[in-house]
Amino acid sequence: MKIGVLISGNGSNLQALLDYFPGEIVVVISDRPALGLKRAERANVKNRIVSDDAAMTLALEAAGVELVCLAGFMRLLGKEFVDHWHNRLINIHPSLLPQFPGLDTHARALEAGAKVHGCTVHFVRLKMDSGPIIGQWAIPVLPNDNSATLAARVLQVEHQLYPYCIDKYSWS
């Protein structure tokens, strides 16, 4: 399956996908200069900075992309883009949705006293961090966790959940 990945930052999830699906990630797009673009470069994957939705669709289609994966992509996508890629556009979010959509999920989970936290892979719909859930991975919140330690442990399971869910998607 030809996969396109959209990023805005470090790209550790992108790295997990590059490692798990060698040859299947055909293009990486960032909406801003990002460390993750170097990861694509190192893996010899076409990569570019594109900041508007229509140009992103053109670039993804030019690469023959069948599935678009958001991996730390921070810009909200417009209706046209989301409709165009309906059910071919997925995201990973660092909480057990529908709890804690949006930003600062780890701090908010701690503040709420959550005993379980984790991450979710889901189809993208126009409303942020909504959409049918493909898979989730729950981890315990430890008594001495702070948002950095919790974020690091969630990120580790994100790197396993995302490839697993994409495999599951490609079976369906």
Residue 116 identity: V
Give the residue with the Cβ less far from ligand GRF, 92 or 96: 92
d(CA 125, CA 99): 16
The DSSP secondary-structure symbol of 19 reads H
State in angstroms the smallest separation of the CB of 92 from ligand GRF.
Answer: 4
Question: Is there a catalytic annotation at residue 159?
Answer: no
Report, in Å, the least distance between residue 59 CB and ligand GRF: 20
- The C-alpha atoms of residue 143 and residue 136 are separated, in whole angstroms, by 22
d(C-alpha 135, C-alpha 14), whole Å: 18
| Binding-site string for ligand GRF from residue 17 to residue 46, where x marks contact by CB under 6 A and - marks none | -------------------x----------
- CA-based nearest residue to 20, from 48, 43, 36, 47: 43
Site string for ligand GRF, 85-104 (x = CB under 6 A): -------xxx----------
Q: Which residues bind ligand GRF (CB under 6 A)?
A: 9-13, 36, 71-72, 92-94, 119, 155, 158
Give the residue numbers annotated as catalytic, written as ranges: 93
